[in-house]
Amino acid sequence: MSQKKYRRVVLKLSGEALAGAGGFGISPEVLHSVADQIREITQLGVQVAVVVGGGNIWRGASASGEGGMERAHADYMGMIATVLNALALQDALERLDVVTRVQTSIEMRQVAEPYIRRRAMRHLEKGRVVIFAGGTGNPFFTTDTAAALRAAEIEADVILMAKNGVDGVYNADPQKVPTATKYDSLNFMTVLSQGLGVMDATATSLCMDNDIPILVFSITKPGNIRRAVLGEPIGTIVRRDIE
């Protein structure tokens, strides 16, 4: 059996990744593909936590900037959107016989557990997939920051940043600049100083302070999550020091 490189991971899924080609809502095909890839790595013995975004349903920053809505109000709506995605992913996983728990930073006990760090770690130790929804529970923070925060709290080995439409970090937008160069590895200071957009600055700084590597790769190619946890050379690795 192939040897896993990581014992415990946080998989960061954007809402856009769940939307697929449609760009809005939840694609059943993408949802099943992601769930199947998560099932694959649980079979390797990897402990998996997932942080989901909500941009396929609602984007608080856009509603605040373009629509004039109060930012805190718009962000709370975005947090609720992440819960919809989390429940959809939970259903897809459990249809594949993967035992799953959803924990939310905003309590809604009828549909999910409240986030409790020690309970989350116990679920992971028992082989359950834990899906963190609701971001950090606070406005003005992105789900990238939630991923960094939860990774630090549960002592994850790495954050797997699963991207839709891009297979790593480039020095320019590869969709606009055909000659853009892909990085195999980067350090946190380079990401921050050059504004490379791996995560927002708050999340990147939190990962740097807690020495949590970030692996950026494409979610659209089946099997990529498995390749990531096996340590195969895919995507771009961001860490405190590069060899």
Binding residues: 12-15, 54-55, 59, 75, 136-143, 164, 170, 173
Phi-psi region of 204 (alpha: psi -120 to 50; beta: other; left: phi over 0): alpha
Paired with 101 in beta bridges are 130
Enumerate the known binding-site residues for UMP.
54, 75, 136-143
Question: Which is nearest to 240 in space by CA: 192, 196, 197?
Answer: 192
> What's the chain's Rg over C-alpha atoms?
17
Cβ density class 19-28: b for 16+ within 10 Å, e for less: bbeeeeebbe
Give the Cα-Cα-Cα angle 161, 238, 155 (nearest 5 degrees).
70
**The pair of three-digit structure tokens given for residue 193, joined into one six-digit string:** 């100083």
Q: Identify how many contiguous H helices and E strands the chain contains and give both numbers.
A: 9, 11
Q: Report the amino acid identity of residue 27.
A: S
CA torsion angle for 124, 9, 144, 150 (degrees, to 10)?
Answer: 40
C-alpha–C-alpha distance, residues 38 and 50, integer Å: 9
Phi, psi of 228 (to 5 degrees): -65, -45
C-alpha–C-alpha distance, residues 181 and 194, integer Å: 14
Enumerate the known binding-site residues for ATP.
12-15, 55, 59, 164, 170, 173
